[in-house]
Structure 1
């Protein structure tokens, strides 16, 4: 695996000679994080919740298992959910990125959200990416950049407005979505996997309980005292052994004048928005719009459940209508 040039420079300048840990590269899919499992856990303290199931919406058309990139023998796929009604106005696109600690989870977990947003007029794409069981950082980043480029390449097929592409992610997916947004126009994070000549820029980010920094004092990532943490598996180094790499992978490190507007939707778990205050200060300095909506008394996995699902959808829709000036 090749690090981005910046990461390689920082690693060498730090004088690190420690070998990257590859024990997490099992090649076996980690199924530990699932909607059903999250529901069983959350229901213990929130007995009133209901798991959001897939919808059957007559207004929504879908195409599943579309290959957006091939890396070696590995085919990476996404699913499309978009308005069935044809319009002359091009459709804003949303790339939905699942969570699971960069190691578990799958793109099917947010199909209900994709369907619901498609019903509101967005073209939504639930995307898979290589997890830490098969490839370490920055593979997931490079995959998702390729997925954005695929959207632009296939814009005509889905009637997409390529000037209105949103990265939306939950948990680890929220961190990845934020990273996509903060590394707009930074070629060292593009890679050369698929369609490298096409822009991977996104025009908005919706970060749902995704950390903004692995190294911020508020961050809980990298605690290996009770076993190898999810982030340590992803980077292949404990934080203390390669701090520069952990810092490089933090969206907070890259936020600046090319960062798009941000919507933060958060649970009551404070550590899941580590660095948000400092991040928004930078956005404010550059007069970049952002919003924060926090659901009180909620578990980290709240986006998967009623009664929080519909209010979350409403916040996303209102934010995108505002920044894209959508009148419908």
Structure 2
């Protein structure tokens, strides 16, 4: 029943005025657009709306399957050193929209998600955002035709780091955050991590300003803020405790879902040793996992571009196997 407020008029009887509805914390899915023989897409869905921040959006790519078939869904998490990137962009070594379309062709939905960058909000804001995205998908699973029990995470670079964190913290109530949909689980049942960081304290310096960032890109960085992705992610600090708290390595437990790690052996930004550290921790915890090394591959699989289609197929096949 709509609540009403009584307003007394100075020269007549009181009149009743309905109270406005509360401002929503997220947007309900509408009607998708048909984009190919394999895909329909819900674009620009606001999965979390928070006071003082831009709306956080996702696009949901759905396979064009029978309406009575519930399909699994993978959350795609873009890279960009926690500083750049967009849910619609893939690395230049990948064909445009390839990840989304390949998943749909395999009968798997894909939710490609924006999250707050490091200067918008320090960690754990990024993890809170992604957990809100997973809760949103579970809340609307029936409406979207999704299987709420088969949700995975797949990310590259910074997105791989965040996908790993998402997979490793499904049972951590202290890391849920309060955004968007509540009272749903944020756990995922399978993770693909492409060349992500596993320990922000053990990685060598990643950014050489003159090599990678132009003055125009640096114009909005506050004076004194370090450009290293790790310290920037935790608010500009080099405190090992803060860096460890933002690193997947410290969250590995025996309850973790299966992992697929893929990393180039010539990665000049995130060394292969980062994935090896995580693989070792998963092995110690007896978590099913596989580490695939790409010979000659640099970050984003540069210098191994011919292998990228097969690499993406391997990731899609991993999800299919886990959910078969």
The TM-score, its normalising length taken from structure 1, stands at 0.75
Distance of 2:297 and 2:288 partners within structure 1? 26
Distance of 2:276 and 2:298 partners within structure 1? 21
Q: 2:256 aligned with 1:259, yes or no?
A: yes
Distance of 2:303 and 2:56 partners within structure 1? 24
Aligned to 2:187: 201
Q: 2:67 aligned with 1:70, yes or no?
A: no
Distance of 2:124 and 2:303 partners within structure 1? 27
**Alpha carbons 2:279, 2:291 under 8 Å: kept:** no
2:65 to 80, 85, 108: 85
2:177 to 182, 191, 208: 191
**Alpha carbons 1:268, 1:300 under 8 Å: kept:** no
Distance of 1:307 and 1:224 partners within structure 2? 28
For residue 107 of structure 1, report the CA deviation from its aligned partner.
Answer: 0.7
Aligned to 1:315: 314
Distance of 2:183 and 2:281 partners within structure 1? 29
**Alpha carbons 1:174, 1:209 under 8 Å: kept:** yes
In structure 2, the CA distance between the partners of 1:277 and 1:112, relative to structure 1 (3 Å rule), is closer
Distance of 1:294 and 1:309 partners within structure 2? 13
Aligned to 1:233: 232
Aligned to 1:250: 247
Aligned to 2:204: 220
Alignment of 1:1-328 (within 5 A): 57-73=36-52, 74-86=54-66, 88-110=68-90, 111-216=97-202, 219-221=203-205, 228-239=227-238, 242-270=239-267, 271-302=270-301, 306-324=305-323, 326=324
Structure (1/2) with the larger helix percentage: 1
Gaps of 5+ in 1: 1-55
**Alpha carbons 1:212, 1:274 under 8 Å: kept:** no
Residues paired across the two proteins, number: 267
**Alpha carbons 1:222, 1:238 under 8 Å: kept:** no
SS at the partner of 2:85? coil
In structure 2, the CA distance between the partners of 1:86 and 1:130, relative to structure 1 (3 Å rule), is same
CA RMSD of aligned residues (A): 2.4
Bigger Rg over Cα: 2
For residue 303 of structure 1, report the CA deviation from its aligned partner.
Answer: 8.0
Distance of 1:200 and 1:146 partners within structure 2? 7
Distance of 2:303 and 2:159 partners within structure 1? 14
Distance of 1:312 and 1:155 partners within structure 2? 29
In structure 2, the CA distance between the partners of 1:114 and 1:256, relative to structure 1 (3 Å rule), is same
For residue 223 of structure 1, report the CA deviation from its aligned partner.
Answer: 7.2
SS at the partner of 1:199? coil
SS at the partner of 2:135? helix
Gaps of 5+ in 2: 1-34, 91-96, 211-225
Distance of 1:274 and 1:195 partners within structure 2? 37
Distance of 2:158 and 2:138 partners within structure 1? 24
In structure 2, the CA distance between the partners of 1:62 and 1:225, relative to structure 1 (3 Å rule), is closer
Distance of 1:66 and 1:225 partners within structure 2? 35
**Alpha carbons 1:267, 1:295 under 8 Å: kept:** yes
Distance of 2:318 and 2:271 partners within structure 1? 21
SS at the partner of 1:156? helix
For residue 158 of structure 1, report the CA deviation from its aligned partner.
Answer: 2.2
